[in-house]
Amino acid sequence: MIQSAGIVLAGGLSTRMGGQDKCLLELDGKTLLQRAADKLAAQVDAIAINANSDVQGYQAPGLPVIRDSFEGYAGPLAGVLAGMEWARQQGAEHIVTVAADTPFFPDDFVCAMQDALAAQSGKIAIAETSGAGSKFYNHPIFGLWPVALCDDLRSALDTGMRKVVQWAYPHGVVKVRFNALPFDPFFNVNRPEDYTTAQQLLKEHSL
């Protein structure tokens, strides 16, 4: 039995990258997928990649690759479900999910999520960062999810549920705040200009 299971969600369509597979873009010799997998692997006991592509590059990190078990492209919730189903087979009680296109998420991400959930009332933890003034930004792809909700999530998907927060909030959500300075650690590479920004951040902050 494992204590913590991590899932790298790489099932997106990369539509804003002009059809190019953004997960396989390289930063300083490592793909975005490899960077996310390496960072998460250092924080959990077991890890898998959720991807629906046949591209060989998804096998490169040498980790289990799990496909959505829900038919049709159902977005991130389908990836969370696939992760839950895989983790349940491993004996894990929770999974943590990260996005494959977010190479700079915190090194203490998993511990912070676990500690916050243990200290507060709720079943699910979701990351957030502060913005200008009193505004905060949710990052629902970065979450901690109880495997016990696996069947509930499948039922929700069957009824057409697609939004992460719409499914999560009724179960009780703990928001875990992370420092957004000097940049948002959940910055993700969606567009070609984001890739340029990621290259600059890598150099400026020795990431």
The per-residue pLDDT for 12 is 59
Residue 5: strand pairing partners: 46, 95
At 140 the pLDDT is 95
pLDDT given at position 134? 65
Residue pLDDT tens, the chain, 207 long: 577 899 999 975 554 455 678 899 999 999 999 999 999 999 999 999 999 877 677 877 789 999 998 877 889 999 999 999 999 999 999 999 999 999 999 999 999 999 999 999 899 999 999 866 667 889 999 999 999 999 999 999 999 999 999 999 999 999 999 998 889 999 999 999 999 999 999 999 887
CA nearest neighbour of 46 among 76, 88, 12, 79: 88
Number of Cβ within a 10 Å radius of residue 91: 12
Biggest alpha carbon–alpha carbon distance for the chain: 46
What range does the domain containing 104 cover?
5-205
Domain count, the chain: 1
Domain at 117, CATH number: 3.90.550.10
Contact yes or no for 188/194 (Cβ under 8 A): yes
DSSP state of 181: S
Q: Are 68 and 81 in contact (CB under 8 A)?
A: yes
pLDDT at position 61: 76
Predicted model pTM:
0.93
